[in-house]
Amino acid sequence: PNAYQTLDSAGRPIIAFTLPLIAEARNADELAFVMGHEAAHHIASHIPRQQQEATTGALILGVLTAATGGDETAIRTAQNLGGTIGARRYAKDYELEADALGTILAWDAGYDPERGAAFFARIPDPGNRFLGTHPPNAARIDTVRRTLASLQ
């Protein structure tokens, strides 16, 4: 089960749901929350921000490797590593930001975001891995609850 956001070839936002995610959803609130979360990534410009951070990370590690005498292969490897680190540096923050804004979007659309975030209780918990892309499910549920409390 997965949902994600991306851009089409013209730069227009796309929100995609896999069929297993749709089948796994137990109610419209869950689907609305996931859609709000993915839309929030677009609204918050997470794709271009993440691309910029990846580019910066690649540039920094590539330049440092070149400055310390790295050969072409070492520089390329450093750029790839820097790009990965840069892209993931704020990934968990972006997820929590999208959870908060997704809560507001679902709420404003007439859905129950807390009921929608119950989806997190059923999916595998990513924990708090170093350079992980998603925060622990408990942190995500807490973000939804705190955001919802501020709306009521």
pLDDT tens-digit series, residues 49-76: 999 999 999 999 999 999 999 999 999 9
> Is the pTM of the predicted complex or chain greater than 0.85?
yes
pLDDT tens sequence across 104-144: 999 999 999 999 999 998 888 999 998 899 999 999 999 99
Sign of CA dihedral 17, 18, 19, 22: negative
Domain that includes residue 25, residue range? 3-151
Which H or E element spans position 4? Answer: strand 3-7
Q: Residue 70's pLDDT is what?
A: 96
The total number of structural domains in the chain stands at 1
DSSP state of 134: S
